Amino acid sequence: MDSELIQRISTIIEDACKAETNTFGYGIWSHHILPMISIAQELADRTNAAKKIVTLAVLLHDYAGIKDQELVEEHHIWGAKEAEIILANENLDEEKIEQVKKCILAHRGSVIIEKTTEEEKCVADADAIVHIDQLASLFYLVYGDRGMDVDEGRRWVKDKLTRDWEKMSENGRNMIKKKYDCIMELLEE
Ligand SMILES: [Fe+2]
Ligand SMILES: [Fe+2]
């Protein structure tokens, strides 16, 4: 993997996450994108997906919405465009840029786009698995940000993780099944 390229892209994304205009706060870097990298790389190891593509796509997948809140709704589309500009500027081959763009376009659980490559599946799976791996962030969202009561928050988290699980590929499920089962048992009413 080209670690210098990965480092440069990481810096661009982390800087965008630090900016005041990022309405998600720095947590989207520290508790979402950063932990997603190792998850996606482990998934890539299990399927022989190209780690460099997967890593670049994870770094860039939510970038458009981080940069501009107005783009959140369609951030998969804008993010693919942003990725093209950034990676072309880095002189990455066109074929690789296309692969990264496809991962970004197909990453969203709420927008169903058929995933045809292992790299696309790794990025989408990592985006779901990170909710399980960073469970405390989901609790922070429901109790801290959204001010839900105990049962409301528990149900919200349970529904969210159920939806994540339903959208995951077999590879993703195999990686996280043990933790998922434990959490779901604990969230039982
Ligand atoms: Fe996203
Ligand atoms: Fe994401």
CATH number of the domain to which 29 belongs:
1.10.3210.10
pLDDT at 111: 78
pTM of the predicted protein model = 0.95
Per-residue pLDDT tens over the stretch 122-134? 999 999 999 999 9
**Residues of the domain holding 131:** 3-187
Supply the angle between the helices 51-60 and 118-133 in degrees, to the nearest 10: 50
Distance 109 CA to ligand 2 centre (A): 9
Distance 169 CA to ligand 2 centre (A): 16
Please tell me the distance between residue 74's alpha carbon and the centre of ligand 1 in angstroms.
9
Higher pLDDT, 110 or 175: 175
How does the average pLDDT of the chain come out, rounded? 96
Ligand 1 geometric centre to CA of 58 (Å): 10
Q: Ligand 1 mean position to 68 CA, how many Å?
A: 13
Average pLDDT score over residue span 146-165: 97
Q: Residue 1 above 80 pLDDT?
A: no
Residue 112's pLDDT is what?
79
Q: What is the pLDDT of residue 114?
A: 85
pLDDT at 110 over 90: no
The answer to whether residues 43 and 58 touch, using CB atoms and an 8 Å cutoff, is no
CA 101 to ligand 2 centroid distance, Å: 14
CA distance 96 to 151: 46
Q: Which of 44-48, 63-67, 107-111 has the lowest mean pLDDT?
A: 107-111
pLDDT value of position 140: 95
Rounded to 10°, the helix 118-133/94-105 angle is 50
Q: What confidence tens digit (pLDDT) does each residue in 69-106 have?
A: 999 999 999 999 999 999 999 999 999 999 999 999 99
pLDDT at 189 > cutoff 90: no
Give the chain's domain count: 1
* Band of residue 113 on the pLDDT scale cut at 50, 70, 90: confident
Closest ligand by atom to 126 CA: 2
**Beta-carbon neighbour count of residue 104 at 10 Å?**
28
C-alpha 79 to ligand 1 mean position (Å): 9
Residues with CB under 5 A from ligand 1 (ion): 62
Between the CA of 4 and the centroid of ligand 1 the distance, in Å, is: 25
Would you say residue 176 has pLDDT above 80? Answer: yes
What is the per-residue pLDDT for 37?
Answer: 98
Contacts of 34 (CB under 8 A, 6+ apart): none
Percentage with pLDDT > 90 across the chain: 94
- Rounded CA-CA distance 64/72 in Å is 7
pLDDT at 170: 95
CA of 178 to the centre of ligand 1 (A): 25
**Mean pLDDT for the stretch of residues 166-183:** 96
